[in-house]
Amino acid sequence: AQSVAQPEDQVNVAEGNPLTVKCTYSVSGNPYLFWYVQYPNRGLQFLLKYITGDNLVKGSYGFEAEFNKSQTSFHLKKPSALVSDSALYFCAVRASGGSYIPTFGRGTSLIVHP
């Protein structure tokens, strides 16, 4: 079985400060890891993914995430938050062994204050 935990329902950060949205996972074998963002009344949009290789993955809108195998984590980061980054963020995991179905975390609401 595979699972994802996003331990924070909400993250608050001031504009210009660095932000981190946490994600830990459990999966049999090697993981494929994804981050998605959902703006109000919109569908989810893909931000970035880790498949293999470099543990630091760069994605859209200046976001990056670091894969840590020993801690089974894939935290989303951005050096300087913007008010427009305020949204709901979902982490997802899928096993690399041919699995079709990803498991999503419950989401973390990021609020960036001016």
Partner 1 sequence: NAGVTQTPKFQVLKTGQSMTLQCAQDMNHEYMSWYRQDPGMGLRLIHYSVGAGITDQGEVPNGYNVSRSTTEDFPLRLLSAAPSQTSVYFCASRNVGGRNTGELFFGEGSRLTVL
Q: Is 31 in the site for partner 1 (CB under 8 A)?
A: no
Query: Is residue 104 a contact point for partner 1 (CB under 8 A)?
Result: yes
CA distance 88 to 39: 6
CA-based torsion, 70, 66, 38, 11: positive or negative? positive
Q: In the range 37-76, which residues lie near partner 1 by CB under 8 A?
A: 41-46, 49, 51
Q: What is the 3-state secondary structure (H, E, C) of 46-66?
A: EEEEECCCCCEEECHHHCEEE
Size of the site for partner 1 (CB under 8 A): 21
CB of 34 closer than 8 Å to CB of 27: no
Does residue 111 touch partner 1 according to CB under 8 A? no
If the CB atoms of residues 15 and 75 are measured against partner 1, the closer one turns out to be: 75
Q: Which two tokens stand for residue 83?
A: 């008010």
Question: Binding partner 1 by CB under 8 A: which of 21, 25, 34, 78?
Answer: 34
Counting contacts by CB under 8 A, is residue 100 touching partner 1? yes
Distance CA 61, CA 54 (A): 19
Minimum distance, C-beta of residue 80 to partner 1, in the bound complex (Å): 25
Point out which residues bind partner 1 (CB under 8 A): 32, 34, 36, 41-46, 49, 51, 90, 92, 98, 100-102, 104-107
